[in-house]
Amino acid sequence: MASILRRLFRRKKQPPLVCEVALDDQGNPVGQHPDHQHTAACFIDLEPLAVVELFQSQSCQSCPPAIPGIHEGTTHPNIILLTYGVTIFDHTGWKDRFASSAWDQRQRAYTRKWNRTSLFTPHVVVNGVSDGSGAGGKTDVQEIVARARAAQKTTDWNIVIDANDSDVRIDTDKQEAGVYDILFVTYRSNDEVVKVGSGPNKGKKINHRNVVSRIAKVGEWTGGNLTVSIGDFKAGLKPDEAAVVIVQEGGAGGPIVAATKV
């Protein structure tokens, strides 16, 4: 298994490309589907899923102009955006409808890890290892993602995570590790627009994408291959919800070493 993983994740300056076709085309020989044409749009980078966490506030004056660019920078199929509303500007006349003290604590955990003395929004964190404001739009977000991917490629071990309706499976060549939380993150699958009724953003409409509604710990990984049941959590998803499972060192504030949509 270890040798297979090393071949899958062999470090290259440019990631390999794959040509993507729908699963229902599987009965047709490769390259012979009558409706398929090879264009640049059908190629995607074969990279592990990157988790982009966006901490934002409906009362942050910097958020409305920055959010569209952040959304544009996270539309790649190998990126999952997770949005957290935070309360740090609720005192300015409008309380963020999606804000939670739990998400405040999650942002603060990252801030403490980097030995900072202040918080800011918008705040983009990628895989728990690189961050920035994302105010520079798509290019800015892509640079933060690139830094996260580069940092994680320096590790000397590999991990692969996959999920079905009942289980999440971790395969790795690292047999011993510290304690990593396996987290089931539920988010709203539809965009939601909020018109701010008061405060510094009064009258502005703010789009929200993949707003996180809850995080549940479903297990721990300390090295080696592992299968964990997620059937009850998957069955509990509402029609307008989706989820991603992440493996994060030491919980909030630590590096995210693997993720998969479920």
DSSP per residue, 153-172: TTSS--EEEEE-SSEEEEEE
Rounded CA gap, 151 and 84, in Å?
24
Does residue 54 form part of some domain? yes
The residue whose two tokens read 């510290």 is 178
Beta-carbon contacts of 193 under 8 Å, excluding residues fewer than 6 positions away, are: 205, 206, 207, 208
pLDDT the model gives residue 47: 85
Q: What is the pLDDT along the chain (262 residues), one digit of tens a residue?
A: 544 554 554 444 444 455 555 555 445 554 455 565 655 555 545 689 999 999 999 999 999 999 999 999 999 999 999 999 999 999 999 999 999 999 999 999 999 999 999 999 999 999 999 999 999 999 999 999 999 999 999 999 999 999 999 999 999 999 999 999 999 999 999 999 999 999 999 999 999 999 999 999 999 999 999 999 999 999 999 999 999 999 999 878 999 999 999 9
pLDDT the model gives residue 21: 54
The residue whose two tokens read 């710990």 is 217
Does residue 247 form part of some domain? yes
CA atoms lying within 13 Å on the CB side of residue 175: 2
Beta-carbon contacts of 164 under 8 Å, excluding residues fewer than 6 positions away, are: none
Does residue 127 form part of some domain? yes
Integer CA distances (angstroms), 130 to 98, 110, 150, 189, in order: 24, 10, 10, 25
Q: Enumerate the H helices of 9-100 as residue ranges.
A: 63-72
Instruction: Return the CATH number at 156.
Output: 3.40.30.10
Its pTM stands at 0.84
φ/ψ (deg, to 5) at 28: -100, 140
Q: Tell me how many domains the chain contains.
A: 1
Does residue 36 form part of some domain? no
φ/ψ (deg, to 5) at 131: -155, 170
**For residue 106, is it left (φ>0), alpha (ψ between -120 and 50) or beta?**
alpha
- How are strands ordered across the β-sheet holding 50-56? 79-85, 50-56, 123-126, 130-132
Nearest C-alpha neighbor of 258 from the set 213, 225, 209: 225
pLDDT the model gives residue 20: 54
Does residue 224 form part of some domain? yes
pLDDT the model gives residue 166: 96
Rounded CA gap, 256 and 66, in Å?
25
Does residue 20 form part of some domain? no
Does residue 25 form part of some domain? no
For residue 55, give its domain range. 2-6+47-261
Does residue 26 form part of some domain? no
CA dihedral 89, 94, 96, 97 (to 10 degrees): 170
Is residue 134 within 8 Å of 120, Cβ to Cβ? no
